[in-house]
Amino acid sequence: MVLIKGSKIVDGSGKKEPYQADVLIDGGKISAIGNFPNKKAETVLDGLGLYLAPGFIDVNTDSDHHLSLFTNPVQQDFIRQGVTTIFGGMCGSSLAPLVGGNLRSIRKWTDISQVNVDWNLLSELLSVLAGKKLGVNFGTLVGHSTIRRGLLGEDQRSLSEQELATFKHLVENALAEGAFGVSTGLSYAHARGTPYGELKAIVEVVAKKGGIYATHLRDERHGVLPAVQEALRIFRETGVNGVISHFRPLIGYESEYNKAAELIHQAGSELNIHYDIYPFSESVVPIYTLLPEWARRTNLETMQSYIENPEMREGFLKELFGFDGNLVKIAQARGYEHLLGKTIHQIADSEELNVPDALLKIMRLTKLRAMIFHKNINRDLIIKNLERDQVLIASNGASLPSDARILKHERFYNTFPKFLEIVTQNKLLSLPQAVGKITASPAEKYGLKNRGRIAEGWAADLSLITYQPGSVKVRHVLVNGRLAMHNGEILGMLSGKILRKGG
């Protein structure tokens, strides 16, 4: 039993003003809210001067893509920022269901040899994770590219009627086994050419089962407007519960972004649609995303052959002329850790190369597997939209093991406190409204039962924070009623639950 005394409760509804009370927790649930001056408990937390909020919910994460659910089960980077529930299976790639038992669809993010795959079905994966135990609650979508590559291998043709029927059957089974929906990564090579009819047929299955369809758009640059129009068309024609993943205003394409965003906001009155964003100016992406678009339409091996070809390399150098090397920093480069934290411009200077030559050299050395921070997002536009009802907050990050060979971006461990600081300091939202946006709103969107609010009988996923406008610190975190962080110290508790839709 845990007793939290005297904190100001922000209940997650987004409407109720903070009020002072004690909270009693028993059996992983909130058993009572009130005034309990004489109540005894095994653990007593002094909440005076602190605000008690529901645990934050991150609807777009990459811990599954990086396999850190296995290598770092505590998931401390999420707990540090008050997050108690995460969702994976985003951008078309998931850990299940697998056709052929391999993880090719996530190899752009990590070394897939880290894990011995002993599952195929989604139910089998969830059982494996439940057996290992996690520090946070975890739910997943099904990756469109994961299934598509399982059926077609490296072939990028359209599906046959039989293949589409098999695809739909796999999706139906996964949804029945607890998947929260399906995601697509339409800008990636193995999904870019997917015809609209195939997408609609699959999304119709999702809509029928009441699931989420989350889409990484086909184009976030010049073609962002038609990409959003395609997403809205499929949302409208299927009636699905829709999300546009990490909808970012990329620098140089703000005009197109604003037009696309306005379409989404207008459609919000008739469709159940949201988009998720993070309040930072950098993308965290593989280095190959800096190649020209035509080169990125192929697989990793083909791109590697391109940059090894002297004639094609000359073409790349011409297309990269004028590239600003100050906007890109190396975050991970296995075997070349001396590059970590350096910009392409700094590397070029030290190597006595021009920026395009330095960039291609790094691509060749790392075989395109380096990860970068790319300062390519208009943060002012992001902040402008944070208060929108259709906006969900997501880190689009992963909790990675402590490793000197990896540079972690702030969004991996501080997205949610940063969001609260920005919106309250700029008076975009009140504290109750801001907390509601990262608790009850995503819980309702994803159909989570008895999570996302502070109420008797609900799950005791809780964050105790210090708060002043412009300053938020997470002090204590409870996951299913057990202390996961105490006074800022991670306790290594593995009390997270595997979440299944409808469960």
Contacts of 449 (CB under 8 A, 6+ apart): 503
Query: What CATH number is attached to the domain comprising 390?
Result: 3.20.20.140
Tell me if 486 is assigned to some domain. yes
Handedness of CA 249, 60, 278, 266 (dihedral sign): positive
Whether 137 and 174 share a structural domain: yes
Report the 3 state secondary structure along 243-280: EECCCCCECCCHHHHHHHHHHHHHHCCCCCEEEEECCC
350 and 237 co-located in one domain: no
∠ CA 111-116-120, rounded to 5°: 105
Q: Does 68 fall in a domain?
A: yes
Residue 413 lies in a domain: yes
- 29 CB neighbour count, 10 Å cutoff: 16
Distance between CA atoms of 67 and 290, rounded to whole angstroms? 24
pTM equals 0.95
- Are 440 and 472 found together in one domain? no
Q: Give a yes or no: residue 495 inside a domain.
A: no
Q: Are both 276 and 129 inside the same structural domain?
A: yes
Neighbours of 168 (CB within 10 A): 17
Number of domains in the chain: 3
Residues 473 and 326 in one domain: no
> 215 and 105, same structural domain?
yes
Instruction: Check whether residue 351 and residue 463 sit in a common domain.
Output: no
Same domain, 275 and 291: no
Same domain, 387 and 345: no
Indicate whether 451 belongs to any domain.
Answer: no
Residues 91, 65: Cα–Cα separation, whole Å: 10
pLDDT tens by residue, the chain, 503 residues: 999 999 999 999 999 999 999 999 999 999 999 999 888 899 999 999 999 999 999 999 999 999 999 999 999 999 999 999 999 999 999 999 999 778 877 887 788 888 889 899 999 999 999 999 999 999 999 999 999 988 888 787 889 999 999 999 999 999 999 999 999 999 887 788 899 999 999 999 999 999 999 999 999 999 999 999 999 999 999 999 999 999 999 999 999 999 999 999 999 989 999 999 999 999 999 999 899 888 887 788 889 999 898 888 888 888 888 889 999 999 999 899 999 999 999 999 999 999 999 999 999 999 998 999 999 999 999 999 999 999 999 999 999 988 768 899 999 999 999 999 999 999 999 999 999 999 999 999 999 999 999 999 999 999 999 999 889 999 999 999 999 999 999 999 999 999 999 87
Read off the amino acid at residue 180. F
Structure tokens at 121: 């079905």
Same domain, 155 and 240: yes
Same domain, 337 and 381: no
d(CA 135, CA 289): 32
Could you tell me which of 387, 328, 325, 398 has the C-alpha nearest to residue 355?
325
CA atoms within 13 A on the CB side of 149: 28
Q: Which CATH number fits the domain that encloses residue 17?
A: 2.30.40.10
Q: 472 and 341 share a domain?
A: no
Asked whether residue 501 is assigned to any structural domain, the reply reads no
- Domain containing 142: what range? 56-281+377-445
